[in-house]
Structures are given as structure tokens and as C-alpha cells.
Amino acid sequence: MRRIGMFLLGVALGALVGVVLAALLTPASGDRMRREAQAYYEQLLAEARQAAEARRRQLELELRDMTGGADSPA
């Protein structure tokens, strides 16, 4: 689990560095950059929510399989 966390931290830091470099080196206007950055952020957030929901469903199915399909303990 720790390796995954370190990997995700590296990905996040790499993305942050990429965003900063793109912002500094791009010829686009500030307003346009902000709109594009906001759209990108919203897309990432939506994808993260979808991934979290899919993982939650997967874990719920695994739990149901492990508990014999019972929804609540008797």
C-alpha cells in the first residue's frame, strides 16, 4: 500500500510541475489558460469520482462474497 501511495504522490508532483511549466511557457492568454485549467481540473475530478465509485462497488461485491451474500449480520 505504501508503494502505491508513493507512486501516486510522484504522479501528483509530476503533474503539478507539468502544469506550472505549461503555464509559464504557453503563449495563451491568462483568461483562456484559467478556463482550460478549470475544465481540466473538473474532468480529472469527475474521472476520480468515477474510479472511486467503481472501486467502492468492487469492494462491496468482494465483501458480499466473503460474508456469504448477507447484507447484515443476523
| DSSP per-residue codes, the chain | -HHHHHHHHHHHHHHHHHHHHHHHH--S-HHHHHHHHHHHHHHHHHHHHHHHHHHHHHHHHHHHHHTTT-SS--
* Cα–Cα distance measured from residue 41 to residue 61, given in angstroms and rounded to the nearest whole number: 30
Model's pTM, two decimal places? 0.50
pLDDT band at 48 (very low <50, low <70, confident <90, very high): very high
Sequence spans of domains, the chain:
2-66
pLDDT tens per residue, range 14-33: 999 998 888 778 776 778 87
Q: Count Cα neighbours of 14 within 13 Å in the Cβ-side half-sphere.
A: 6
Q: 65 and 72 in contact (C-beta within 8 Å)?
A: no
Q: Is the pLDDT of residue 59 over 90?
A: yes
